[in-house]
Amino acid sequence: MQCERCHQNIATGEQHEHLGQILCEDCYMEVLSPVITCDPWAVHSAKTFEREHRGRVELTETQQQILAVLKASGAIRPGDLAARLHLRPSDLERELATLRHMEKTRGELRNGQRYVILW
């Protein structure tokens, strides 16, 4: 089964249905999150994302830092990652959403805890 939003494979039983679409955990959280839809920066980064996808992809400094931490430590919980980089959790989630769509990072559940890992 595939997520209809990001086309990631979804394990059976982990899919979510939203407005008739089958979504993965991450996309489901995203579409349900009012923070992202109400945040002007989300619109900004979505536009940035569109532009980058037509041309070359450029990572922001924060995104590079996230990737550097992941390369050094492997899996890390979003809360720990936010603390390490002195980011607000909502800011981190936005960066992670962008990185996920660039296929740089993805989320993984381990023992019921959400971890961020390299794609």
Question: Interface with Zn ion by CB under 5 A: which residues?
Answer: 3, 5-6, 8, 24, 27
In whole angstroms, give the CA distance from residue 49 to residue 74.
Answer: 25
- For residue 14, the minimal CB distance to Zn ion (Å) is 11
- For residue 46, the minimal CB distance to Zn ion (Å) is 15
Residue 24 vs 70, nearer CB to Zn ion: 24
Supply angle C-alpha 86, 102, 67, rounded to 5.
Answer: 35
Residue 109: closest CA among 29, 18, 21, 19: 29
- For residue 4, the minimal CB distance to Zn ion (Å) is 8
In whole angstroms, give the CA distance from residue 52 to residue 61.
Answer: 15
Residue 82 vs 97, nearer CB to Zn ion: 97
Helix (H, G, I), strand (E, B) or coil at 70: helix
